[in-house]
Amino acid sequence: MTDKKHWASTVAGWFIERDENEQAAPAAEISADEADAIIRAASGASAAQTGAATYATPSPTQTVFQTAPPPPTGGQVNFEAVFDSAGVDTEERARVAKTVELLKSLPAGTDAGLKKQIVEASLKAFGVPIEKIIEAGVEEIQALDGYIRNAATDNEKLMQESDARIKQYEEEIKNIRAIMQQSVEELQTVIKVCNDKKLEVQQVLEFFGQAKVAEVVKDSPKLHDPSATSNPPTS
């Protein structure tokens, strides 16, 4: 059984599990001169050895950040800022990045054993113990895992707050609709009772006759002829 199968369970499951059925590419030949050139190119990194800064500030999910990391922008992450917030030493990060570049520079399909030889020789050229590279690499993965967890926590909080606001707005809309419906019903009642009262008074006018009513309406300054066209008042 290979070590790759257990990556996902290493260091509290921070590593990404790869497909154990994934087939390795066929080995490609690389000369000793090519390997030596890669090692020499990689040896330009500083050999100073400084420990990674400690970190203990609690967060909702982990205690990896000394300061609050910047939030993502449009789903994009400022990794250097995240590592800074987690206290991952800048020089150690540079060594990890150099190792990543070294691995990427190897021809596709390079034998795994030869890859290991080249990388180990390069690390010796750095003057840095392999443990330092591993420690910094795990720190970076730990910081990224903490960042993901914090982002997930923030997202969950946003979802809960948004859902609560939506429910609040829905309740407010429901209340507004009820007020609107009540107003319409009250208007209909007003129309009915007023028309009933108009009919009651109209009986008196009908008693005197339509012609007499029309004459009084025409002569009275208090009354308005409903058949006449009204003009808007002028200032």
Q: Which residue has the higher pLDDT, 152 or 79?
A: 79
Instruction: Report pTM.
Output: 0.58
Q: What is the pLDDT of residue 41?
A: 53
- Model confidence at 98: pLDDT above 70: yes
3-state percent breakdown (helix, strand, coil) of the chain, nearest 5: 60, 0, 35
Mean pLDDT of the chain: 77
Q: φ and ψ at 21, to 5 degrees?
A: -90, 0
Distance CA 8, CA 31 (A): 34
Three-class secondary structure of residue 73 per DSSP: strand
Token representation of residue 68: 């609050």
C-alpha–C-alpha distance, residues 51 and 28, integer Å: 37
Residue type, 180: M
Q: Is the dihedral of CA 192, 195, 197, 203 positive or negative?
A: negative
In eight-state DSSP terms, residue 8 is: G
Query: CB count, 10 Å around CB of 160?
Result: 10
Report the alpha-carbon distance of residue 46 to residue 184 in Å, rounded.
80
The single-letter DSSP state of residue 45 is: S
Residue 26: pLDDT band with limits 50, 70, 90: very low
Nearest to 89 by CA among 129, 46, 136, 42: 136
- Give the model confidence (pLDDT) of 41-64 as tens digits: 544 444 333 322 222 333 333 668
* HSE-CB of 62 using CA atoms within 13 angstroms: 21
Residue with tokens 């007023």: 194
Q: Which residue type sits at 78?
A: N
Contact predicate 78/115, CB 8 Å = no
- pLDDT the model gives residue 60: 37
Q: Give 120-153 pLDDT, tens digit per residue.
A: 887 787 777 788 888 889 899 889 988 888 888 7
Neighbours of 87 (CB within 10 A): 18
